[in-house]
C-alpha cells in the first residue's frame, strides 16, 4: 500500500511520523506494520494511531544512528513510502468484561496509545490499567488525557525497574487480570518471568518485543 509522509515531529528522545493512507485501510489497535522507505530500507512499527483516525497511520521511535532513522528524520514531507500489514496478536479482547492491564517499557507504549485512543472513541467503560516503566515522560500528557476520559481507567508512570512488589502494589487484583506486555526484549522477558512467579496463567499474558529502538 502506498502512503505519504504527512507530518513529523522530532524531539531529543523521540521521532513521531504520520503517514496519509487510503481511508479504507483497516487495522486493529495494537497491530503493527512494515514501513519501506524510498531505496528499500524497511522496519516494523506498532501503529500508534487508532482505527477511528481514518486515513492516518502514526508511528513513533527513538532516534538513533541507523540509516533508516536518519532517512525517516530527514526526508521531506510528502515523500511516498510503502506500508505492508497489518499483523499482530496483541489486540483488544472482544469480551469487554476482561480486565486489561497494559505494561509498557519505554517506547513499547506505542501500541497502547492506539488501544487507549480507540477505547476513548468507543466511550468504553472497560476496566483498564496502564503501567508505563520509563526513563522519561514520552507521551505522558496524551496518555493522561486518554485515561481521564475512561471512567474505569488508571495509569501509573514508574521510574524504576519492574519487579514483583510493584505489580502487587499497583495492581492488587493482578491474579484476575489479563496482561499486555510491550517493550524491548529484555524487559518483556523479565516481565513475563515476574508474572509467572506471581502465578499468572499464560493465557492471561500477551507480549510483544521491540528490537532496534
Same structural domain, 60 and 118: no
pTM value is 0.96
**Largest pairwise CA distance in the chain:** 50
Specify the number of domains making up the chain.
2
pLDDT tens figures, 128-164 = 999 999 999 999 999 999 999 999 999 999 999 999 9
What H or E segment, with its residue span, contains residue 110? Answer: helix 110-121
What's the alpha-carbon Rg for the chain, to the nearest Å? 17
The answer to whether position 197 is within a domain reads: yes
Which of 87, 117, 152 is at the close of a domain?
A: 87
Whether 45 has a pLDDT exceeding 60, the answer reads yes
DSSP state of 177: S
Which of 87, 115, 133 is at the close of a domain?
A: 87
* Section 35-56 average pLDDT: 96
CATH number at residue 159: 3.40.50.80
The answer to whether position 75 is within a domain reads: yes
Whether 177 has a pLDDT exceeding 60, the answer reads yes
d(CA 175, CA 198): 8
Whether 95 has a pLDDT exceeding 80, the answer reads yes
d(CA 204, CA 175): 9
Same structural domain, 107 and 149: yes
Whether 208 has a pLDDT exceeding 90, the answer reads no
d(CA 139, CA 110): 9
* Section 173-182 average pLDDT: 97
**Domain ranges, residue 199:** 100-209
Same structural domain, 11 and 60: yes
Which of 60, 87, 114 is at the close of a domain?
A: 87
CATH number at residue 47: 2.40.30.10
Q: Is 129 helix (H, G, I), strand (E, B) or coil?
A: strand
Whether 212 has a pLDDT exceeding 60, the answer reads no
User: Cα angle vertex 17, ends 14, 18, to 5°?
Assistant: 150
The answer to whether position 182 is within a domain reads: yes
pLDDT tens figures, 12-27 = 899 999 999 999 999 9
d(CA 48, CA 17): 10
User: Cα angle vertex 49, ends 103, 65, to 5°?
Assistant: 75
Same structural domain, 153 and 191: yes
Whether 51 has a pLDDT exceeding 80, the answer reads yes
Amino acid at each position: 500500500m502506498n502512503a505519504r509522509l504527512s507530518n513529523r515531529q522530532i524531539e531529543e528522545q523521540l521521532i513521531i511520523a504520520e503517514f496519509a493512507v487510503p481511508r479504507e485501510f483497516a487495522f486493529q489497535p495494537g497491530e503493527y506494520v512494515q514501513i519501506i522507505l524510498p531505496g528499500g530500507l524497511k522496519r516494523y512499527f506498532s501503529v500508534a494511531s487508532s482505527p477511528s483516525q481514518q486515513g492516518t497511520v502514526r508511528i513513533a521511535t527513538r532516534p538513533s544512528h541507523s540509516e533508516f532513522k536518519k532517512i525517516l528524520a530527514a526526508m521531506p514531507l510528502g515523500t511516498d513510502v510503502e506500508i505492508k500489514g497489518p499483523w499482530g496478536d496483541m489486540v483488544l479482547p472482544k469480551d469487554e468484561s476482561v480486565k486489561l492491564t497494559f505494561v509498557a517499557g519505554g517506547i513499547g507504549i506505542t501500541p497502547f496509545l492506539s488501544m487507549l485512543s480507540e477505547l476513548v472513541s468507543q466511550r468504553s467503560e472497560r476496566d483498564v490499567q496502564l503501567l508505563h516503566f520509563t526513563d522519561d515522560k514520552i507521551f505522558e500528557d496524551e496518555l493522561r488525557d486518554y485515561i481521564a476520559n475512561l471512567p474505569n481507567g488508571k495509569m501509573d508512570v514508574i521510574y524504576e525497574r519492574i519487579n514483583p512488589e510493584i505489580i502487587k502494589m499497583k495492581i492488587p487484583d493482578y491474579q484476575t487480570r489479563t496482561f499486555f506486555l510491550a517493550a524491548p526484549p529484555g524487559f518483556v522477558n523479565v516481565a513475563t518471568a515476574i508474572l509467572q512467579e506471581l502465578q499468572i496463567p499464560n493465557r492471561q499474558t500477551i507480549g510483544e518485543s521491540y528490537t532496534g529502538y
